[in-house]
A and B are shown apart, each in its own frame.
Chain A
Amino acid sequence: MAQDAKNGSTDAVVAASGAGHADDGLSAGTAVIPADAIPNPGHPPHRKRVTDTNPKKEKRAERTVFTLFFLSIIGSIGAIAAYIAFPIENGNHEMVRMSTLFVGLGMALALFGIGVAAIHWGKALMNDKEGIDERHPVRGDDATREEAAEIFHLANEESGFGRRTLIRNSLIGALVAFPLPGVVLLRSLAPHDQDPVALLKETMWDKGVRLTRDPSGTPIKASDVTIGSVFHVIPEGLNELEHDKLNAKAKAIVLLMRLKPEDLIEDENRKGWSYDGIVAYSKVCTHVGCPVALYEQQTHHLLCPCHQSQFDVTRHCEVIFGPAKRPLPQLPITVNDEGYLVAQSDFTEPVGPSFWERLS
């Protein structure tokens, strides 16, 4: 900002001479210091309140104040009474409601009583004559600044801070470096025995894993899936996981829909991924990962409720609106000999939001 300071002082000369202003010596910048400004008329005369002139009103204000303080006491007692009066018995929500309501209102009365009374006291009864403080520039006065400068000078002399530059520079270096280990320690927050990229590229789905209902886990027969219906799907065995069930679920959730086969516009190389108009797509939005749970039956559009990305199921879930970039990954499915829907393999690409190493 040194450059600017210089600019500032030059145009003080250009635009305003600054003569006669209180902050002498400081640039007024491009502010215009008018020669014939209207003078400040000074403080307006003090106007008395009704409580100053009318003893009856004063008495009344006094009564109001102490009544409010008494009301506050009543509120506090009321809150305690409500706490006792509305015990919470198992499953009785009415009591929770009453307890919250009346303990709260009692406390509110206690607080308002004090607040309103104190302010009313201040406004109606305490002296209301305005006071005036003088301001002084925030900077320390010259004598103080000189003393401070002298202290720094002495400290510099006595320590050799300015002279022994190598010591000084090494101190600065050490001070910059010393917090770094603390930051590095936070590395322990990340698991060291996992490969994020590999984990993000695989899910529980595999060849022959049955598609089951979310959350019950019952398997789905192709014949259960009527045209226009939609199923929320998890892989069989997910519910039985001991560890990190939610981690597995966050990646593996799938939406299953049956369209009229003629409505589906399928790629040549994905022809075998659906079964008789039944298609399965990852439910995790490719934008930032919310579940894409809203299916519009008529248009075959999937909508993510978080940021409104829309996917067209008839065209391999390509993005037709919203901030997402990539279509939802498709899960190749087929039917096993018992008529249950099963996966042909895992997803062929990572599901969920984009990440740096998605391709490499």
Chain B
Amino acid sequence: MSTANATATTESTAPQQGGVRFTSAAANYIDDRTKVSAAVKEFGRKIFPDHWSFLLGEVALYSFVVILLSGTFLTLFFQASMAEVHYNGSYVPLKGMEMSVAMASTLDISFDIRGGLLMRQVHHWAALLFVASIGLHMLRIFFTGAFRKPRELNWVIGFVLFILAMAEGFTGYSLPDDLLSGNGLRIIDGIVKGIPLVGTWLSFLVFGGEFPGTDIVGRLYAMHIMLLPALVLVFIALHLVFVVVHKHTQFPGAGRTNNNVVGFPVLPVYAAKAGGFFFIVFGVIVTIASLFTINPVWNYGPYDPSPVSAGTQPDWYIGFADGALRLVPPHWETEWFGGTWSWNILAPLIVIGIFIVLVMVYPFIEAWITGDKREHHLLDRPRNAPTRTAIGAAGVTFYAAMWAGASSDLVATHFQMSMEGVIHALQFALIVGPFIAYFITKRICLGLQKKDRSIALHGYESGRIVRMQGGEYIEVHKPVSDYERWELVSFEEYKPLVLRPNDEGKITFGNRLRTVFSRWFFQDRVAPVTQGEIEAEGHNHH
């Protein structure tokens, strides 16, 4: 942070034209009162590296801004009350029907307030994009190893943001008090009731009495527009402060080292690109919102405990949890010690809980295994960390099996399979799938590394076959340039830890465990090409 380019913002004292004179006078005025020049000096020419995948986090940030803007519009018209009214708006099919004020005001926003439907759809699509981009951003961070020291804490902060985003999504989804959202709440009620000992009481606490009661929408609303957004803002601020403190990571490349950042300065290029990108994200959301209907609550009707439609599904980001509930085999419930243990609810909760915690603490686990205390600012190409990449693929498979579970019935009807068959296949995919994904991914990574190695040593296959004088056919390889080769060879290799007694001559359990993990991680590996090998190759190859 301390290396600001002093070349920035030196104000010229030469005679100036009108526009410039006004700008510099305004800048002077503001600086005299805020010392903003210090910030400009510090950050004005701060360098940001370029890569398309770095935009994923920006998409998340920008869609959150869109959510705030459209959400503010909606709060001006939405009424979070479950008082029963007879709908008397302009949507004829529901006219005269009994429904909550929340549902009625949602219909008013959709049909009687100009631009209301557009804003509802902007809000919903932006929310979907928000969660999706956070997910992809996390995958980018994971697969490139960007979570390593010094960024472990920022991984945890980002992870909390992901959970908060899902909570925001769910609380918002439930607000219109339509049939679908009511059924979603019914499932939450069932899950809460399945918690041992306190579940019944907790359910009454959340719903203010029996399900559905008349309180839940107002309570969710308070969460949705006050507490959760405030937390999201705090964590985003923290997240970004860390990005500034750490500076951005960069992919390895010629001229790039662990001790520099190569890219474009904030002023003007990065500001233009990032600022422009905000408008593009906003534009994409508004385009989708104006062309594609989402959450047409008027088709579902107000919540009523009795009706339900086939193909009932949650919003996609909560699908993994709903799918996990579906993948439980029949009869998982026991009566022990005078209480009801609903394993058909607890098992999915526990499995998801463990999965979530493992994802959250993964940076610390990997740091423990490698024992590497240095800072890492150069990203790994996924292939150059085969075990991590394979673990990621296994995790994605595990998540995907649960996620697909939420649509098991639609999969069955659309592909004309038996519903039971789909569930059994997904149960298999949940348990065995991650192992298959792990092995395939690891092999692919090692294969790609070997290919890289061969290119670095022998160059590219040119496709040109030459017959030698002795009758031998060879394919001519074109050597890579130094710059290209650097991208192939500049990665770190870790060796498995050798089990040795510590200073006191003891072998601790922790060390033993670490050795096992270390062997698992680094047993199979491909070492980067060395200078010696290149030279030896040079001699062989005339």
Contact = CB atoms under 8 A, between A and B. Distances in A.
Contacts of A66: none
Contact of A122 (B122, B273, B330): B273
Give the bracket for the number of chain A residues in contact with chain B.
Answer: 35 or more
B304 A30 contact: no
Give the bracket for the number of chain B residues in contact with chain A.
Answer: 35 or more
B220 interface: no
A338 interface: no
A32 B495 contact: yes
A37 B330 CA distance: 59
B92 A119 contact: no
B204 A194 contact: yes
Contacts of A113: 279
Contacts of B464: none
Nearest to B290: A104
B493 A290 contact: no
A32 B527 CA distance: 9
Contacts of B213: 244, 247
A81 to B, nearest CB: 13
B486 A246 contact: no
A261 to B, nearest CB: 27
A38 B279 contact: no
Given A134-B260, A360-B339, A189 B374 contact: no
B500 interface: yes
Contacts of B81: none
B439 interface: no
B3 A134 contact: yes
A194 B419 CA distance: 41
B68 to A, nearest CB: 16
Contact of B204 (A14, A40, A136, A190): A190
Nearest to A352: B190
A204 interface: no
B331 A190 contact: no
Contacts of A307: 322, 325-326
Interface in A98-132: 99-105, 107-123, 126-128, 130-132
A357 to B, nearest CB: 6
Interface in A136-194: 136-138, 186-187, 189-191, 194
A43 interface: yes
B280 interface: yes
6 contacts: A37-B528, A112-B280, A118-B273, A191-B204, A289-B211, A354-B194
8 nearest A-B pairs in the assembled complex, by CB-CB distance: A104-B290, A288-B190, A118-B276, A29-B371, A115-B279, A43-B255, A122-B272, A325-B333
Given A38-B529, A41-B254, A41-B483, 18 more contacts: A1-B364, A7-B371, A11-B371, A29-B372, A29-B373, A31-B372, A34-B530, A38-B531, A118-B273, A120-B276, A130-B262, A133-B261, A138-B375, A189-B219, A289-B211, A293-B308, A321-B423, A323-B344
